[in-house]
Structure 1
């Protein structure tokens, strides 16, 4: 695990170069994704103003919207990582750059988009509601770091999966669609049975998305529940161990 972190830091400049290359060659794709999120923010704001929604309704709407933006980060980074590693693995080999540089760049690029749009959402929600919106900036930064730490190995594993399994893109797409219904975007966890919510919390992506929602709407509630955090750390450790073993088993540090 230490070696992976060292390699990631070593190749961080390569990742930034690839990010610029990716934006330059596929700028329409990223602009479209960012525009969709901005339109959703504007639509939500106008809808709440026109309907004269009360503060509770407004905070619930922004809660779900932030969750959807976090889901978009997960969706775009994981789905694009499969395509990136599958199509450009040979290029990484010629450049002597580990394959996960491409996967990391997808996570980083979509993180920037997410960070911008959530910042705008925080500004809009704070000024449009009275007292119910409470933003925990440290909590948000914590979940931002945790999300990056989680998504890099997951995106890399999916990239390797796509290299060897032709139908991987369809499997990944299907699982990401299912994810939309099991994370708190279409529903609010407080309105569900506690047992069912605890089952859903076993999903580390639920932890991330719900953490962003709470840190941007509920404030300090995002950093409570210590057992929940400990469970996530164990899950991340397991994912990194799986990533290390996959690298060793398939010798995919550089694609041949």
Structure 2
């Protein structure tokens, strides 16, 4: 595991260069994603004004919107990571660069788009209601935790996608189903506690709900210590899985299709 951390830090400059490469040749793709997020924000803002909603309704709408933006980051980062390694794996081999340089770049680029959307969302939401409270330190914490979570997940998906053709369909289906398991279509406070506790076993629920709480409720996101410990334990398991997948990839235990 230490080797992966060291290699990731060592190749971080390559990852930044790859980000510039991606933006240069696929800038339309990222502009479309950013435009879609801002359009959704505009629609949410417009319908709240037209309906002349009260603070509770506005807070609930922005709560769900923040969750959807975080989901958008996760969806595109993981889905494009599979395509990145599958289509550009030979390029990494020629440059002697690990495959996770590309997957990390996808996570990082989508994080930048997410940050832009969230900054504008914060400005709009606080201008519409005084109930919303933003915890900037808490937001940064969940930003780091999401990056730490997505890098190994994206790398695992990328490697599997290179060797198994159906990986892309499984990942797409799982990400679509994910929207039902995270607090986007519903507010956790309106559900039975037992169901919320079950949903919290999902580490993606942790980061999405964390963004929602830090952007809407302020400091309330840092009060559940067992929930944080559970997430750290899951992160450790995911990184152990990544170590094994990376070792198998290096020793070519997979059969190339």
> TM-score, normalised to structure 2's length?
0.97
3-state SS of 1:187 partner: coil
Instruction: Map Cα deviations across residues 210-252 of structure 1 (whole Å, 9 max, x no partner).
Output: 0000000011111110000000000000000010011112317
In structure 2, the residue matched to 1:73 is: 73
1:182 equivalent to 2:181? Answer yes
3-state SS of 2:132 partner: coil
Instruction: Map Cα deviations across residues 120-145 of structure 1 (whole Å, 9 max, x no partner).
Output: 10111001102x10101000000000
User: Cα RMSD between the aligned structures?
Assistant: 1.3
3-state SS of 2:53 partner: coil
3-state SS of 2:180 partner: helix
Give how far 1:21 is off: 0.8
In structure 1, the residue matched to 2:128 is: 128
User: How many Å separate the matches in 2 of 1:63 and 1:177?
Assistant: 20
Where does structure 2 lack aligned partners over 5 or more consecutive residues? none
Where does structure 1 lack aligned partners over 5 or more consecutive residues? none
In structure 1, the residue matched to 2:17 is: 17
In structure 1, the residue matched to 2:240 is: 241
3-state SS of 2:179 partner: helix
In structure 1, the residue matched to 2:90 is: 90
In structure 2, the residue matched to 1:204 is: 203
In structure 2, the residue matched to 1:139 is: 138
User: How many Å separate the matches in 2 of 1:102 and 1:204?
Assistant: 23
User: How many Å separate the matches in 1 of 2:116 and 2:29?
Assistant: 17
Instruction: Map Cα deviations across residues 20-39 of structure 1 (whole Å, 9 max, x no partner).
Output: 11111111111001000000
Paired residues for 1:145-156 under 5 Å: 145-156=144-155
User: How many Å separate the matches in 2 of 1:153 and 1:138?
Assistant: 24
> TM-score, normalised to structure 1's length?
0.97
Asked if 2 retains the 8 angstrom alpha-carbon contact of 1:99 and 1:252, the reply is no
